[in-house]
Amino acid sequence: MRKEIYDAYETIKPDEEAKKRMLKNIKSLSAEDFNRRNESMRKAKSKRMLRIAAAAAVAVMVPVTAYATGLFGLHEINLGKKEFEVPVRIEDGENSTEDKFEMAKFKVDMISLQGMADSPEAKACSEWTDFYESYDADGSIAAEIGNEPTEFREEYGAYSCYTKEMADKIDELCEKYQLKKREEPVIEDDYKKILDRYGIGDILKPSEDVINTMQGEVCDSDGNFNLGGEITFPENPECAVIYEFTRSVKGFFDTAVLNIGNVDEYEQWEYETQCGETVLLAKNGDKALIITDKEESFISVCMDGYLRKEANSVWEPYEISREELEKIADTFDFLLIP
């Protein structure tokens, strides 16, 4: 699954059949189809999904204490607040069969998935985000280009780039922060094949308390990759956690950011996993994160908990406990990844 789908779950509430259809459609795309369909539409799509994701992340929560850590905390990777105007579902009586929405504005915190906020990678990403949100704001340029591949695909295929102005901005940021451009990613369903590309062994560790099912997603030749998966608990089969495991190699320009709602509402603490890696754990209701800053890369595991009721296939948010998050962290061998 792609990150946009994870971020949208909280709002669209897919049932089991809808989830299966989305997964089937994503995985049935060939690399060529994936790139062709996203070349000119990915800007509009990413903005639309980001607006939906904002609605999911701003639910009113009871503030919790952010524990001080000697490692680092979410504030050290916070890129600042962004304001979004998003559709919010309106309750229109118990017997209503039609979903109704109204527009509302929210401010949310965006965190870097490349490294510390003062790192070259995060600074470049932050500048790109500001540029990207203001460029072609109404989508008219993308609409005029249509679905056909552009001349920028070969060199800028890893980015939402479809004009010379966007390509020039990417080159400017790479030169300013001494970063290399990522190569266009490829789709790979088998996570072990992705890890094998970089000489990394199986990072999943067996556990009696947690069932961690991982699949591949996308990767490139430089070591950047995304792995998707689902966590289930044998003692509580209705509860599950969807996650995306991201490795961002340092020295490369990447544009991925994550909307986490309000950073001050997260409980945070350091945890030494069974493999011996000290990681940052953070949670806020059904949202949770595992983050570790390695010598060669920055690793993040972004999670959403849900309660699956088999009787009517309704998905509801599931609050991930502190104990569960630590058990989940123990299922990954972070030491294998440089």
Residue 49 — pLDDT band, cuts 50, 70, 90? very low
What pLDDT does 189 receive?
94
pLDDT, tens digit, 9 for 90 and up, residues 124-137: 999 999 999 889 98
Task: Tell me the one-letter amino acid at 274.
Answer: Q
Q: Is the pLDDT of residue 21 over 70?
A: no
Q: Is the pLDDT of residue 23 over 60?
A: no
What pLDDT does 96 receive?
58
Residue 207 — pLDDT band, cuts 50, 70, 90? very high
CA-closest candidate to residue 306, choices 88, 10, 58, 24: 10
Find which of 12-26, 34-48, 244-258 is predicted with most confidence, using mean pLDDT.
244-258
What pLDDT does 31 receive?
36
The Cα 271–Cα 86 span in angstroms is: 35
The Cα 40–Cα 150 span in angstroms is: 8
- Pairing state of beta strands 239-249 and 180-181? unpaired
Query: By the 8 A CB rule, do 260 and 74 touch?
Result: yes
pLDDT, tens digit, 9 for 90 and up, residues 275-318: 999 999 999 999 999 999 999 999 999 999 998 766 555 678 99
pLDDT, tens digit, 9 for 90 and up, residues 209-236: 999 999 999 999 999 999 999 999 998 8
Query: By the 8 A CB rule, do 146 and 94 touch?
Result: no
Query: By the 8 A CB rule, do 127 and 31 touch?
Result: no
CA distances from residue 327 to 156, 224, 270, 273 in whole angstroms, order as listed: 39, 26, 14, 9
Residue 101 — pLDDT band, cuts 50, 70, 90? confident
